[in-house]
Amino acid sequence: MIKDSLNKIKDKAMEEIKNVSNFDLLEKIQKKYLGRKEGELTKILKNLKNLSLEEKKIIGKLANEVKLRIESEAKKKIQELKIKAEALEENFDITLPGEKIEIGHLHPLTQFTRKITDVFVSMGFEIVDGPEAETEEYNFDLLNIPKEHPSRDLWDTFYIKSGNSPESPELDLGSGDSEQNSKNKLLLRTHTSPVQLRAMEKRKPPVRLIMPGRVFRHEATDAGHETTFHQLEGLVIGENIKMTDLIGTLQYFVKTIFGESAKIRVRPNFFPFTEPSIEVDMTCLICCGKGCGFCGGDGWIETLGAGMVHPAVLKNMKIDPNKYSGFAFGMGVDRLMMLYYGVNDIRLSYSGDLRFIKQF
């Protein structure tokens, strides 16, 4: 009988504590059951005097268990109410789902540059870096592009005002201070070719080098042109290096990146630093060579310039042209990246627009 009432008290108390939503009510509930004078449990215990010793023991033990159980449930509830109160104070709803943390990734251009450099590294090429603020001497003179030679016009150049340090260049949008010696005259490199010369100051043939990097041209921008873009330069020097080595290397590169169906086509061209010079096209992968708007209808895409390193340039590298020969190439990384990922406007690549970058 008493056992039953004790169990009932326990169940009722537990239920009430579970549903309580503030400290005041909780306190009242605690008092109602455990209060020293009027608590329901206390009342029962007061009636124990009429029971036998044996019964007193059993009921006493049970009553104590019920008391402990109620107390621990109330403690748990206090903890819970405290957390809720704190959250409310900070105006923070703990039931809201957490904010998703966005994880960034490499820019498509960086991803693609790594892909293509990997192909060359697998062929034994070494990756070399060079300065973006370059001297006129390295960007032009040592590459066999003399000062007054019309071929210099191939590269629309951003000159850096004299007296500026390469770390904080200020642009001179004229043709540069003509009085200044080309050794000191700074510009933003118009191509990665000067890195060939810098690399060979610290190396001896045979070498296989690739030189990826950012280049700058003072040009109007459109869907296919930016004033800042990326090139990947290649240089191989050794004994008996031939044009067929160049073509084989490029064919292997294009097929590895773009698949077996990608072919290359070679046309004669002119560059001051190579002789003979070639222009290399690859199959347009948008139309598979049939001709479309992207390739201008002829099924081929201009991919890179290349050639056998000019003897004058070899001499500038302190290399004996009678003993050694070499090939070089320079490709526009942006154009290939666009073809690879199907991007139709180079300006998107430099816009910093996350909607574009997130696609890759």
Alpha carbon distance 246, 274 (integer Å): 12
> Is residue 167 exposed (0-12), middle (13-18) or buried (19+ Cβ within 10 Å)?
exposed
Within residues 312-331, the interface with ligand DAH by CB under 6 A covers: 328-330
191 near ligand DAH (CB under 6 A): yes
Q: Give the range of 5-13, 52-60, 294-302, 303-311 binding ligand DAH by CB under 6 A.
A: 303-311
Reduced to 3 states, what is the DSSP secondary structure of residue 22? coil
273-291: string of b/e by CB count within 10 Å (b at 16+)?
A: bbeebbbbbbbbbbeebee
**Taking contact as CB under 6 A, which single stretch among the options 81-89, 289-297, 299-307, 340-348 is the one that binds ligand DAH?**
299-307
Q: Which is nearer to ligand DAH, 12 or 203 (CB)?
A: 203
212 lines the binding site for ligand DAH (CB under 6 A): no
Q: Which is nearer to ligand DAH, 233 or 334 (CB)?
A: 233
Q: HSE on the CB side for 271, CA within 13 Å?
A: 28
Residues 252-271 that bind ligand DAH (CB under 6 A): 271
Q: Are strands 207-216 and 300-309 parallel, antiparallel or unpaired?
A: unpaired
Q: How far apart are CA 23 and CA 135, in angstroms?
A: 77
CA distance 198 to 193: 9
Q: Closest CB to ligand DAH among 213 and 307?
A: 307
Comparing CB distances to ligand DAH, the nearer of 13 and 210 is: 210
- Measured from the CB atom, the residue of 176 and 213 that comes closer to ligand DAH is 213
Q: Which residue's Cβ lies closest to ligand DAH?
A: 330
CB atoms inside a 10 Å sphere around CB 17: 20
| Shortest Cβ 286–ligand DAH spacing (Å) | 23
What does the binding site for ligand DAH look like in residue numbers (CB under 6 A)? 191, 193, 233, 271, 274, 305-307, 328-330
